[in-house]
Amino acid sequence: MTPINGYLVAQESAWRIPPYAREMLWMQQGAHAAQTHGDRGAFSLTVPGDPQAPLFLVWGTAGGPPLTLWHRPEAAPFVVGWQGTASIGGFIERLHVLETHHIEVVAAEIEGALLQPDYRHLPTLAQMRESPFRRLPEPELVGERRYIYPVLAPTDSALADYLHHAMVSELAVNCFVTLAPQDGNWHALVGLPLLLESLTLLAPGYRARLG
């Protein structure tokens, strides 16, 4: 067994884990899990000595929906540098329209899983210099299990329109989200408040990738 000690958030980062989330985050590898603590997410986890097995950051309880993953660190303490973001792929199973503080929001239930860590977004200048950009087959999602991720967007935004279109057309989506801040009381709406930052709709032929 190998102990792994560290922090989710770097000391120099301006971002901190919001108070509502500080009792909701766990680091997990296989059957071994430990809750994080404080505004930087301090953790201490003892795991088997498998250097290939990833570490997952999960929500709510051990075995909860994963938000991101990392591979075994070489340095100690392990400072992840997380900024509250997650990248997930799946299908929209339900849309809810809610109102909070006189703001109407759409809450989409995404049934899916994490995208692979090496998922390629739009190409950068450096990537275009390396070779002509070519979209390879969409990466598989991480693992076999699927989870429900609630994703929030203002009803008057283009993001909300495309969420509705994706559900009606049964298109797979890739969602790039950020854990909601304490301000706004988003966590009173749903127990995992993920604010949608950007969205990718996939052609119908990609549906097979979810099994």
Topology adopted by domain 85-210:
OB fold (Dihydrolipoamide Acetyltransferase, E2P) (2.40.50)
Q: Tell me which amino acid residue 85 is.
A: T
- What is the residue extent of each domain of the chain? 2-79, 85-210
Q: Hey, which of 75-89, 163-177, 195-209 has the most confident mean pLDDT?
A: 163-177
Encoding tokens for residue 56? 């997952």
- CB-based contact 8:57 (threshold 8 Å): yes
Predicted local confidence at residue 73, as pLDDT: 67
Q: Quick: pLDDT tens for 42-95.
A: 999 988 867 678 899 999 999 999 999 988 766 667 888 999 999 999 999 999
CA distance 134 to 37: 42
Query: Which 3 state secondary structure label does DSSP give 187?
Result: helix
Encoding tokens for residue 132? 């002509």
DSSP 8-state symbol, 99: E
Predicted local confidence at residue 139, as pLDDT: 65
Q: Quick: pLDDT tens for 100-151.
A: 878 899 999 999 999 987 787 888 898 899 988 887 666 678 988 999 999 9
Predicted local confidence at residue 190, as pLDDT: 95
- In 3D space, the residue among 207, 192, 198 whose CA is nearest the CA of residue 58 turns out to be 192
- In 3D space, the residue among 123, 60, 114, 120 whose CA is nearest the CA of residue 86 turns out to be 114
DSSP 8-state symbol, 100: E
Query: Can you say whether residue 44 is alpha, beta or left, with left for phi > 0 and alpha for psi between -120 and 50 degrees?
Result: beta
If one compares 92 and 203, the residue with the highest pLDDT of the two is 92
Q: Supply the DSSP string of 117-170, one letter for each residue.
A: TT---SPPHHHHHHS----PSPPPBSSS--EEEEEEEETTSHHHHHHHHHHHHT
Question: What is the side-by-side strand order in the sheet with 66-70?
Answer: 32-35, 25-29, 55-59, 66-70
